[in-house]
Amino acid sequence: MATISYGFWNDLLDAVRRAQPDVARAWFRLLKPGVLRGGVLIVHAAKAQQREYLQRTAQQAFTQAVQSLTGRLVTVQFEPPAEEARTATPDLVEASDEDPLLWRPTPLSPDLTFEEFVVGPCNRLAHAAAGAVAESPGRAYNPFFLCGSGGSGKTHLLHAICREIQRTDPGCRCVYVRCDQFATAFLASADAGREDEFRQSFREVDVLAIDDVQRLSERERSQEEFFHTFNALSERGSQMVLAADRSPRELAGFQDRLTSRFNSGLVTVLDPPCYETRLAILRKKCKLRCLEMPEDVIEFVAVRVSDSPRRLEEALREIDALAHALGGEITLDVARQAIGDVPRLWVALPAIVEVVRRRWGVQAADLSGPLRKRTLAAPRHICMYLARHMTQQSLSDIGAFFGGRDHSTVLHAVRLVAGRMESSPEFRTLMEELRQELARGVTASSMDVAAPRAVLDAHEPDALTRC
């Protein structure tokens, strides 16, 4: 399932107006794009009269327009806004309208499936183990504990496990819930004297997936209840899937007997995605969102945003929104304005010297030494610029590393390189390539060392070649 981008939605409305102007109405601008799911594009219309008109008169126009834009056999369906169309899910605790325990399990997202999960070195073990759990719940790994920083994909795998189990076994009683919901529902049931109903709701399920376990920290009553829920599910052979932002051994404010049970199954870690995985995630998200994004922009985002898949998707939305606001296409300049230079990828000074010296075919000792040669000035200035933007070293420390130069020399070099990047697109592209190479953590032994020198010879002023 894909979320529709601003640009695609505007193109769709324009195509409808051009193809059938007699059908188009001014209030079409009030329509909201929904999702593209299973070959069906959902379009939200707030008023029943609007939906009736769209279905009766504009269905064909929208369908032809979306098929023309996507090149796929897509149909259009008109629905009320999500908050109006949402239907109640089955209650874990049977309750009337006056019932204080009106609590429902969190619905599973149709987006968070195994098919939509991008696998890489950072998450391959977790993904494989999650697949095994979904295939044999209660037998493969029980409990199954996922840990990783926010946005690393834990929630995605929890939803994917539950959805796959329900797909293969529709009769399976599978519940996904966040830990704070569990604690809130327990306290509410305790205050109302209905603990038995609460326990029946959680202790008689076949699969219990609990997210954000770390939020049970220092909640003694909720931990006690969870401990007994854990034991009850273990005795009946139910599958438990847990997720937290740290490993069980690092959870503070937890009873030892509870963390020992977390460790009794399989604990897997989801690390931040590597560069290649980030590229794959971005390409997949762009495809799902019907978002046309140049490859150089995708590579730029993959370099700049390194912490989590969630942040990658946020960066795509920010770039798409800015391009829409500016009324133009997505370009590298738009991406720079949207996401800037943070978070930075910190690298070591020797790594910068290694990448630059291989590009220019010079010696590392010459770049970092006191030798003053015209042929060394430009690559040395570039080293200083990259060091200023990709390390946590001060100007003085950078100057000391490069032949004992003072901070003013480093600052001068940084300004020269920045000025040339502003005036020369070719040089700016060269610098971006160096950034990406450093981010990937690979050296350019097979690079053509003549190419960077040609760029400098053609575009660099004398100031950048002086020591």
The predicted model gives 319-324 an average pLDDT of: 83
Do residues 111 and 38 touch, judged by C-beta distance below 8 A? no
Instruction: Give the CATH number, domain containing residue 363.
Output: 1.10.1750.10
Amino acid making up residue 281:
I
Give the pLDDT score at 89. 35
Give the pLDDT score at 164. 93
Task: Please determine, for residue 447, whether its predicted confidence score (pLDDT) is greater than 50.
Answer: no
Identify whether residues 357 and 294 lie together within a single domain.
no
Identify whether residues 76 and 50 lie together within a single domain.
yes
Sheet with 174-178, strands from edge to edge, namely 174-178, 207-211, 239-244, 144-148, 266-270
Identify whether residues 266 and 279 lie together within a single domain.
no
Identify whether residues 138 and 240 lie together within a single domain.
yes
- What is the Cα–Cα distance from 431 to 467, expressed in whole angstroms? 20
Residue 404 resides in a domain: yes
Residue where a domain terminates, one of 270, 290, 324: 270
Residue 114 resides in a domain: no
Would you give the end-to-end CA distance of the chain in angstroms? 56
Give the pLDDT score at 445. 32
Identify whether residues 145 and 256 lie together within a single domain.
yes
Identify whether residues 389 and 450 lie together within a single domain.
yes
Under the phi-then-psi rule, with left for phi > 0, alpha for psi from -120 to 50, and beta for the rest, what region is 253? left
Q: Which of 29-38, 222-231, 280-289 has the highest mean pLDDT?
A: 222-231
The predicted model gives 371-393 an average pLDDT of: 84
Cis peptide before 343 (omega within 30 of 0): yes
Identify whether residues 202 and 241 lie together within a single domain.
yes
Residue where a domain terminates, one of 318, 339, 360: 339
Residue 92 resides in a domain: no
Give the pLDDT score at 211. 92
Residue 99 resides in a domain: no
CA dist 49 to 32, 44, 52, 53, Å? 15, 12, 5, 6
> What are the residues facing 44 on neighbouring strands?
32, 79
- What is the Cα–Cα distance from 161 to 128, expressed in whole angstroms? 11
Residue 403 resides in a domain: yes
Pairing of strands 32-37, 174-178: unpaired
Residue 344 resides in a domain: no
Give the pLDDT score at 32. 86
Identify whether residues 57 and 140 lie together within a single domain.
no
Between 344 and 358, the higher pLDDT residue = 358
Task: Please determine, for residue 288, whether its predicted confidence score (pLDDT) is greater than 50.
Answer: yes
Domain that holds residue 163: 124-270
- Average pLDDT over the chain reads 81
- What is the Cα–Cα distance from 374 to 244, expressed in whole angstroms? 55
Task: Please determine, for residue 162, whether its predicted confidence score (pLDDT) is greater than 90.
Answer: yes
Identify whether residues 128 and 266 lie together within a single domain.
yes
Of 461, 452, 466, 376, residue with least CA distance to 422: 461
Identify whether residues 377 and 436 lie together within a single domain.
yes
Residue 206 CB coordination number (10 Å): 18
Give the pLDDT score at 160. 94
CA atoms within a 13 Å half-sphere pointing along the CA-CB vector of 215: 13
- What is the Cα–Cα distance from 382 to 414, expressed in whole angstroms? 8
- What is the Cα–Cα distance from 248 to 145, expressed in whole angstroms? 8
Four-CA torsion 49, 50, 52, 56, nearest 10 degrees: 140
How would residue 8 be classed by pLDDT, with cut points 50, 70 and 90?
confident
Give the pLDDT score at 209. 93
Between 249 and 463, the higher pLDDT residue = 249
- What is the Cα–Cα distance from 105 to 208, expressed in whole angstroms? 11
CA dist 20 to 51, 54, 462, Å? 18, 13, 60
Between 397 and 224, the higher pLDDT residue = 224
Do residues 145 and 133 touch, judged by C-beta distance below 8 A? no
Residue 111 resides in a domain: no
Percentage of the residues of the chain whose pLDDT score is greater than 90? 18
Residue where a domain terminates, one of 56, 85, 114: 85
Of 141, 160, 451, 405, residue with least CA distance to 266: 141
Give the pLDDT score at 364. 85
Residue 97 resides in a domain: no
Instruction: Give the CATH number, domain containing residue 304.
Output: 1.10.8.60
**Look-up: residue for tokens 């269905």?**
59
In a 10 Å sphere around its CB, with 0-12 CB exposed, 13-18 middle and 19+ buried, how is residue 38 labelled?
Answer: exposed
Q: Which of 41-55, 186-200, 303-317, 342-356 has the lowest mean pLDDT?
A: 342-356
Sign for the CA dihedral angle at 36, 312, 324, 45 comes to positive
Task: Please determine, for residue 443, whether its predicted confidence score (pLDDT) is greater than 60.
Answer: no
Give the pLDDT score at 276. 85
Task: Please determine, for residue 84, whether its predicted confidence score (pLDDT) is greater than 60.
Answer: no
Instruction: Give the CATH number, domain containing residue 39.
Output: 3.30.300.180
Task: Please determine, for residue 166, whether its predicted confidence score (pLDDT) is greater than 80.
Answer: yes
Between 58 and 393, the higher pLDDT residue = 58
Task: Please determine, for residue 254, whether its predicted confidence score (pLDDT) is greater than 50.
Answer: yes
pLDDT in tens, 88-105: 333 333 333 334 444 566
Identify whether residues 307 and 354 lie together within a single domain.
no
Q: Which of 10-19, 117-126, 335-344 has the lowest mean pLDDT?
A: 335-344
Number of domains the chain is built from: 4
Give the pLDDT score at 82. 63
Give the pLDDT score at 394. 75
Instruction: Give the CATH number, domain containing residue 207.
Output: 3.40.50.300
Identify whether residues 323 and 382 lie together within a single domain.
no
